[in-house]
Amino acid sequence: MHTARPLANGLSTDHPQPGLVFVDDTHLPLGENSQLKDTALRTGDFHARTDGQWWAYLPDPARPELAWCVRHHPVHGRSVLLYPLSQAPAVLREWWGGALLHRAGGYWWDGATWHRPGQTWDPERAAYRPRPVPGATTITADTYRADRPETIPARPLRTADVAADEPALAEHWPDDLALWTAWRTETGGRPLSACVITLHAPELDASQLLGVPAVAATAGISPSTLRAYISRGDGDVPAPQAVVGRRSLWARPVAEEWAEEWAEQRRTVAEGPVTSPLDTAGLSPGAADTQRVFARLFFDQLWQRPEIRKRWSTRHRTEDEVRQVADELGRSVAARLDDILPADALAATLTRALLDALTGRARPGEDRPAGVDPSLAAMLRWLDRHHPGLARQVIRDTAEGARRRRGTVPAHTEQLLQRLLADPARPAAPASAA
């Protein structure tokens, strides 16, 4: 599921994101792929395919907490977007999966077809099922309808002008678009008819979008429960397709697909063993474990220590009520696992390490590589328990990398790593061409 949110457009992008300001990116070596590759490999990351596609990220020299993500396609041009550095590895994984652009809260384009946000998992393909959007129309820069720009032209921002945690929204985006168009006219580049802005589809018409109450009703939960899921990051609630004022709105098919997937998750949890009276709905097993640990800690601090308890406990408060507060404190920690360990960074590092372990050179005196180190296997199992979706992505990315390096059939590598998850005592052998 696509969750990364760009902060701004790069001035050199071919496909601007509507509403986002443009930031000067002329300091990037975009015209020299070799130099950009060397810089990205030294400070960020870089991937390429034999068909001429490549994608990379590199921290901004003046704002190292921000990263420029660049996606190049030999036919469809390039996207240049500014992201928080912590989200950059996830953006590259999305691009690796075939998405060229994301718009409208996760709708994605592969160069020919628009698809809905990935939500329904296909275990046989080990990927999200692609759902083409009926009646989708691609809106390019020459057909994008915008109000006439103001008399005062917009100016490109610097990275110093962009906040690190919120998208930089333009007050009057047509002015910014006019700036970008004028800059392209001066410097040359793709024709406006080949520069994708967004999509239009019947299901994305404003009259068809659903608010929180309607989405909650579709899932069979209360609006307050849905708002709690969104605020805590639980339940894999998809990003809204639009935000009008402070009101989030979703396309009906997106809401229905999420409700179907969420109902299946709840059914699976209900059929499993009951391990705790705590409210762990929507949490992975590892996150639920974290909740229990911190709930016990907070309860001891709030209730068992007299010097603290006497400061706030009154005759109206009981042990059960305090335990409920402790449970909520524990859940708040469990919902912020990335504050304890950055899962995206771990997944990117683990993918590289597994690929090197399975396809690297043999050690001196050995005929072939030794295979996956137990510490790597332990980290893969940890990721699978706490972030199962990321673990599946690591397995797929490792399999694809082994295919490119050594011609290994991806299914063989995936089966090998899946067996490692099922049987921790069984070492994974190096990938071999097949």
- Helix residue ranges, H only, 188-249: 212-219, 223-232
Q: H or E segment at 390?
A: helix 388-406
User: Which amino acid, one-letter code, is at 214?
Assistant: A
Q: What is the pLDDT of residues 327-375, one digit of tens each?
A: 777 776 777 777 678 888 888 999 999 988 888 765 554 444 456 777 8
Instruction: Quickly count: other Cβ atoms within 10 Å of residue 1's Cβ.
Output: 16
Strand residues in 221-333 grouped as ranges (E): 242-244, 247-251
> What SS3 class is residue 28?
coil
pLDDT of residue 184: 87
Where do we find the tokens 């790069």? Answer: 10
pLDDT of residue 153: 59
Highest mean pLDDT among 40-49, 55-64, 286-295: 55-64
In contact, 28 and 63? CB cutoff 8 Å: no
Query: Who contacts 429 (Cβ-Cβ below 8 Å, separation ≥6)?
Result: 371, 416
Crossing angle of helices 374-386 and 410-422, rounded to 10°: 80
Query: Who contacts 96 (Cβ-Cβ below 8 Å, separation ≥6)?
Result: 47, 55, 397, 400
Query: Residue 252: which pLDDT band, with cuts at 50, 70 and 90?
Result: very high
Q: What is the phi-psi region of residue 106: left when phi exceeds 0, alpha when psi lies from -120 to 50, beta otherwise?
A: left
| pLDDT score of 285 more than 70 | yes
Quote the tokens at residue 403: 């295919």
Quote the tokens at residue 422: 């099922």
Query: What is the dihedral angle through the alpha carbons of 261, 385, 353, 4, rounded to the nearest 10 degrees?
Result: 40
Q: What is the pLDDT of residues 370-420, one digit of tens each?
A: 567 778 888 898 888 888 888 889 999 999 999 888 888 889 888 888 888
Q: Domain 206-271: which topology?
A: Multidrug-efflux Transporter Regulator; Chain: A; Domain 2 (1.10.1660)
In contact, 100 and 82? CB cutoff 8 Å: no
Torsion angles phi and psi, residue 59, rounded to 5: -60, 145
DSSP string, 403-415: HHHH---HHHHHH
User: Which amino acid, one-letter code, is at 367?
Assistant: D
Q: What is the pLDDT of residues 151-200, one digit of tens each?
A: 555 678 899 999 988 899 998 898 899 999 988 888 888 899 999 999 99
Q: How far is CA 353 from CA 9, 316, 347, 388, 395, in A?
A: 32, 55, 10, 18, 12
User: What ranges do the domains of the chain cover?
Assistant: 8-200, 206-271, 285-340, 343-422
Q: Which of 301, 330, 327 is nearest to 313 (CA)?
A: 301
Query: What gap in Å lies between CA 415 and CA 412, rounded to an integer?
Result: 5
